[in-house]
Structure 1
Amino acid sequence: MQAETAYAVFEALPEQEKQRLLRMLSVSDVKVKNKPQKKPIISDAEAREYLINKFKKFSQKWKERN
């Protein structure tokens, strides 16, 4: 078995099984990388509301300066 194959199998394991395998191999200092959490996508309405609020704040600051 090649190292690439073993790595692919290891990455496919659930987190609990990865920890178990590492204990079986007597590897304690290897940290298992967690996949980054994706930020939830906001709806169109939420995006519009966010942009409107940003624009209002920006325009208020602009009026104060001028």
Structure 2
Amino acid sequence: MIGSLGLNLRILRFKLNLPQYKVAESLGITAKELSYYERDLEVTSTVKLIKIANFYCVNVKQLIEEDL
């Protein structure tokens, strides 16, 4: 089943109990940018997607294709 990147990002962040600004800071992006990704309002670049996957210790396929 195809998951939602935004939903998966929110789930992973909530599992770690981290606020958006902390995750964004760690990724080198703004909290606003992360918010757009989490709400599926903006698509991220492949490079940023890999960085996000690495941050959450998952692979890119899990982020975009699976329901976490």
TM-score > 0.5, shorter chain as reference: no
Which structure's relative contact order is higher, taking Cα pairs within 8 Å and 6+ residues apart? 2
TM superposition score normalised by structure 1: 0.29
Structure with bigger gyration radius: 1
TM superposition score normalised by structure 2: 0.29
